[in-house]
Structure 1
Amino acid sequence: MSESATFQLENNNTLISDQARKTKISNFIGIILGLIIFPYTFYFNQSVEYEYLAVACLLTSLTFLTIPLINHLKKTTFARYLLIILSTFSVGMFSIILEAKSHIFIFFFPIILLPLLFFTYKQRTHIIISYFIIFTGLVCDISYKIYQQDPAIANELMPLVLSNIIFCFLLICVYSFTILKQKQYFHENLEKKNQELLSQITVRRQTEASLREAKSAAEAMSKSKENFLSSMSHELRTPLNAVIGITNLLIDSDPKKEQVENLNIMKFSADSLLSLINDILDYNKISAGKLDIEHIPFNLVQHLKNIKEANTFKATERNNTIKLMVDPAIPKILKGDPTRVAQVINNLLSNAVKFTEEGLIEIRVFMNESIGDNHITFEVEDQGVGIHPENIDKIFMDFEQAESSTTRKFGGTGLGLSITKKLLRLMNSNIEVSSTLGAGSTFRFTLELLPSSEEEYETLTKLDQEEENVSYAHKKILLVEDNPFNVKVATQFLKNWALPYEVAENGQIALEMAQKNNYDLILMDLQMPEMNGYEATTEIRKFNTNTPIVALTASAIAEVKSRIESAGMNGAITKPFVPNDLKKSVMKYLTLGIKKGTKDAEKFQEAR
């Protein structure tokens, strides 16, 4: 139903309700007056002189009592006229009978209110006719009394009386029309306000509809973007997995001295490409609010040393020196998110290396008791090109760099610092920058990292060491992968680690093999012909709930992880994988397995 139709319906309902109220009032007045007049039938019936009045009272009373019936027959206007006529007649009749001994004619004035009560300002004609009826009765009553008292002076008084009555009639009409005009103005103003409100409601609903459409479009666009990122992530990571995997295999296969530098360059380039892909995916995760911060024990100093070592190669190329200074008051083991802390520091350090040539880069980490307990401040200072004060805020914007020439000179996507700032916000921190153009920059942030027990950290480390020393020659792994290059990389690593394995080219073959054989671990690719990894896992879980199934996926978005869990997988290793991360995950799942009847033995983990 349209807005105007709804409003019109509401107006009609209001009018119907108003008419019903007026009908109830007329019914009530008719019944009351009928009951009041009815006893006079017996009073006048006892007098021979007024015997005819008994009949008049009876008829008048009965007529009053029929008003509800007339209203019920939808003759409401007739019923109201009849009520006014009978009321006028009754007052006039009793006034004449009681003559000058009574002031009953005063009841003519309450009758004057009936037209205003029964009719609206649009029914002016009915009001005038009603007044005419009432004043005619009043004239008849006064004329009769004047002639009855002294017919001689009646001719002299009648013009004055009539003129006064006419004046009162006109005065009451004017007064009534003034009241009606105000009432009309009120109703018209109310209707106007209602129309304005209706218009506002219509605009608001249209706006809400537009917003809903925009939201639906945005959600559809977001879904398309996620699907695109998932697809592109898979398409980019799949060949990159082969490149990084083969490179690692060549480095570990005792290459010739002249080949080492080329392999390191290849590995560095592949890692840089992987870092770029990870930045894009992390940016999407943070923007969608789907990136969680961990709180696990880790060795901060060891992480800092690893980050420094990872950037040393690039720093040496640019004749830079990296210096790491750590406050000895910092606890050895802290609780936080080592991956994200390392990502932030690595982003700042790699930027410092990129924008500095033949200079010193210092990483300073110290307890900052001026802020509060367990607050650690990190500073990365370089002697690079510096940043103009006007561009400091700009460098933290998405896909922005300090100057348009920066990308041409130094490369980069402009995402690193944007992601860094967003990650620090997720860890309840912020980043500060002080810089001098041409002299270098200092990036500073503070994190609250609670100390953790070394026992908890050593327990995790000990578990990893125990897994390294355990023999898995009696275990059997099923590798489900359709890409021949990825099969070659994965199987080569499994051979090097002395892990028995079998290969299935797609999900359908994997299902058949899982029905015939018992495996201790299934490494399941997700996108395959015939039957994908989700479908294969769902079918396997119908008859096997104990064997760990770990996804080998080239997609790292949250929706994929959710589908992995729903299908019944126990974890995921993201391609391209670091050999040690793959080995650690494989050993852990072979060691822990799954306890029958319980949820996953280990929480979902992502290894890069």
Structure 2
Amino acid sequence: MSEIDRISAHFGDAQVSRRRYDRERRARIEAEQLLEAKSRELYEANNALRKQAESLEETIRQRTADLEAARAQAEAASAEKSAFLANMSHEIRTPLNGVLGMAEALNDTPLTKVQRDMLGVVLQSGHLLQNVLNDILDLSKIEAGKYDIEEIAFDLKDVVRSVQAMFGFAAKEKGLDFRIDFGPGSEGWIMGDPNRLRQILGNLVSNAIKFTREGAVHVLVEVCPVGAGHELRLIVRDTGKGISPEEQRRLFKPYAQSNAAMSREFGGTGLGLSISRRFCQLMDGELSVESSKGHGATFTARFRVGRAQTPCATSEQGPEEELKQLLQARPHRILAAEDNKTNQLVLRGLLKGLDCSLEIVSDGGALFSAWQQKRPDLVLMDIQMPVMSGLDATIAIRDEERKAKLPRTPIIAISANIMRHHEVEYEEIGMDGCVPKPFRKEQLVKAILASLKRHQNTNNL
């Protein structure tokens, strides 16, 4: 190969290398530009994502603050509603206790048949008003999720018969055959909530009598084994006008009646069936209806109960006779605090005839002073009073008993404040029981008897 050829070949190789270098350089520049562009895109995307995250966090903070404010507002409104209902309950129950208490005391005096019938109307109307008040308060507590079902032993027949006595006059006035039959399993005592049973059966019987112009209202009470437990069934049949399928669909809605015409004709709040169904459901049961237009109606309430041991009967006496016998064994002093003059008369009227000394003072301070001086056998304590409340008076008595090592005095609350948290508070400060206003003589007598017997048994240990 000549020198020229070698130079030419070398020059050609150099050109090839130059072109390769240029290509690689351009590729590197393009890669760097692409990397820069992608980096810029990634930076901008990250920046946008950061701003979006910051915006989202701010939105979440704002929403959380709004929710907290709404929750606080709802809780404040709920607290105000509860306080209002508790106050209204107290303000209604206090005078209602005067009406029903004096009527019951009057019922124990000699009356003509006409007078006794008129008094029956007063008692019936008062109990119906009490039932309406209970329904309103109970529905409010259930909606707030604050309702507790009791689980105590009680005599099934006693509770059912108290409902029968409550509505017997209304049925008789309309000429209806009102009968309650006790079916299988209804003998003896059961475990459950006697007040809810009374309320459910009372609502069903009240409606049956209200909507039945002629014919009969029959109630069947039975306790049936279901699985490992028992179920109480209350079957209420009437010969009233019946309920159409369309009306049945609205029947258990709160504040609603089956139709407007019925509401105008018969009155009522529309709460009875709704609250009764809620109670049944809270006790693992249900309330149902079978009816057709013109053929009456059958309501069946069923809910879980337990079996309880029936206490051994110590005597054939009723509570009042047993209390009289206990009081006759030795003189007893009962000290009561009640600031309402009418309810002072109620206490005197209902406890008249019992062999005991009853002293009534008007506030907790006066009661504490009288307790220190006279050491009564039992205290009946109103709660809302001037000077010193019943709660403060109870705390003062329990403190004094502990310091001086004195025997415990039974204290029973007689109060129109009967929300569940009130009853818990009464127990926590050392009260031995609570008789809610308006109360019947039987309730008061049973509470006094139970407290005195418990106190007597404790002292004998």
Q: Please give the TM-score of this superposition, normalised by the length of structure 1.
A: 0.67
Secondary structure of 2:298's match?
strand
Deviation at 1:542, TM superposition (A): 2.1
Partner of 1:300: 156
| Correspondences of 1:271-282 after superposition (within 5 Å) | 271-282=127-138
Greater shift in the superposed pair: 377-386 or 156-165: 156-165
Secondary structure of 2:80's match?
helix
Q: Which runs of 5 or more residues in structure 2 are unaligned? A: 1-5, 403-407
Partner of 2:276: 420
Q: Give 2:99's match in structure 1, choosing from 219, 223, 243.
A: 243
Partner of 1:483: 340
The letter of the residue matching 1:569 is M
**Counterpart Cα distance in 2 of 1:333 and 1:593:** 24
Partner of 2:415: 553
Asked if structure 1 preserves the Cα contact closer than 8 Å seen for 2:184 and 2:224, the reply is no
**Counterpart Cα distance in 2 of 1:217 and 1:350:** 39
| Correspondences of 1:217-236 after superposition (within 5 Å) | 217-236=73-92
Partner of 1:575: 437
Asked if structure 2 preserves the Cα contact closer than 8 Å seen for 1:467 and 1:588, the reply is no
Asked if structure 1 preserves the Cα contact closer than 8 Å seen for 2:432 and 2:451, the reply is no
The letter of the residue matching 1:558 is R
Greater shift in the superposed pair: 534-543 or 210-219: 534-543
Change (3 A) 1:450 1:494: closer
| Correspondences of 1:130-209 after superposition (within 5 Å) | 161-209=17-65
Change (3 A) 1:596 1:215: farther
Secondary structure of 2:91's match?
helix
| Correspondences of 1:472-551 after superposition (within 5 Å) | 473-545=330-402, 546-551=408-413
Deviation at 1:482, TM superposition (A): 1.3
Deviation at 1:319, TM superposition (A): 2.5
Deviation at 1:336, TM superposition (A): 2.6
* Deviations 1:105-128, CA, capped at 9 Å, x for gaps: xxxxxxxxxxxxxxxxxxxxxxxx
**Counterpart Cα distance in 2 of 1:468 and 1:366:** 34
The letter of the residue matching 1:389 is P
Deviation at 1:412, TM superposition (A): 0.8
Secondary structure of 1:476's match?
strand
Asked if structure 2 preserves the Cα contact closer than 8 Å seen for 1:550 and 1:570, the reply is yes
Deviation at 1:441, TM superposition (A): 1.6
Asked if structure 2 preserves the Cα contact closer than 8 Å seen for 1:362 and 1:380, the reply is yes
The letter of the residue matching 2:93 is R
Partner of 1:591: 453
**Counterpart Cα distance in 2 of 1:421 and 1:290:** 17
Partner of 1:121: none
Asked if structure 2 preserves the Cα contact closer than 8 Å seen for 1:298 and 1:334, the reply is yes
Q: Would you tell me which structure has more strand in proportion to its own residues?
A: 2
Deviation at 1:155, TM superposition (A): 7.8
Partner of 2:177: 321
Secondary structure of 1:529's match?
coil
| Correspondences of 1:50-449 after superposition (within 5 Å) | 161-328=17-184, 330-366=186-222, 374-449=230-305
Asked if structure 1 preserves the Cα contact closer than 8 Å seen for 2:433 and 2:447, the reply is no
Deviation at 1:518, TM superposition (A): 1.3
Partner of 1:123: none
Larger Rg: 1
The letter of the residue matching 1:487 is Q
* Deviations 1:127-148, CA, capped at 9 Å, x for gaps: xxxxxxxxxxxxxxxxxxxxxx
Change (3 A) 1:364 1:372: farther
Partner of 1:111: none
**Counterpart Cα distance in 2 of 1:190 and 1:564:** 63
Deviation at 1:153, TM superposition (A): 9.0
**Counterpart Cα distance in 1 of 2:243 and 2:298:** 10
**Counterpart Cα distance in 2 of 1:342 and 1:460:** 26
Deviation at 1:189, TM superposition (A): 2.9
Secondary structure of 1:253's match?
coil
**Counterpart Cα distance in 1 of 2:331 and 2:132:** 40
Secondary structure of 1:339's match?
helix
Asked if structure 1 preserves the Cα contact closer than 8 Å seen for 2:104 and 2:123, the reply is yes
**Counterpart Cα distance in 1 of 2:160 and 2:426:** 33
Deviation at 1:583, TM superposition (A): 1.4
Secondary structure of 2:388's match?
coil
Change (3 A) 1:216 1:547: same
* Deviations 1:27-50, CA, capped at 9 Å, x for gaps: xxxxxxxxxxxxxxxxxxxxxxxx
Q: Would you tell me which structure has more helix in proportion to its own residues?
A: 1
* Deviations 1:167-194, CA, capped at 9 Å, x for gaps: 3222112112223333433343344344
Secondary structure of 2:191's match?
strand
Asked if structure 2 preserves the Cα contact closer than 8 Å seen for 1:281 and 1:556, the reply is no
**Counterpart Cα distance in 2 of 1:521 and 1:294:** 26
Change (3 A) 1:496 1:329: closer
- Of structures 1 and 2, the one with the larger relative CO (CA 8 A, separation 6+) is 2
**Counterpart Cα distance in 1 of 2:378 and 2:105:** 23
Change (3 A) 1:523 1:325: closer
**Counterpart Cα distance in 2 of 1:229 and 1:515:** 36
Change (3 A) 1:445 1:561: closer
**Counterpart Cα distance in 2 of 1:353 and 1:364:** 15
**Counterpart Cα distance in 1 of 2:255 and 2:190:** 33
Q: Please give the TM-score of this superposition, normalised by the length of structure 2.
A: 0.86
**Counterpart Cα distance in 1 of 2:97 and 2:418:** 14
* Deviations 1:12-36, CA, capped at 9 Å, x for gaps: xxxxxxxxxxxxxxxxxxxxxxxxx
**Counterpart Cα distance in 2 of 1:162 and 1:155:** 10
Q: Which runs of 5 or more residues in structure 1 are unaligned? A: 1-149, 598-608
Change (3 A) 1:304 1:242: closer
Change (3 A) 1:460 1:536: farther
* Deviations 1:485-512, CA, capped at 9 Å, x for gaps: 1112212333321221222221222222
**Counterpart Cα distance in 2 of 1:325 and 1:494:** 33
Indicate the percent of aligned positions where both proteins have the same amino acid: 31
The letter of the residue matching 1:537 is T
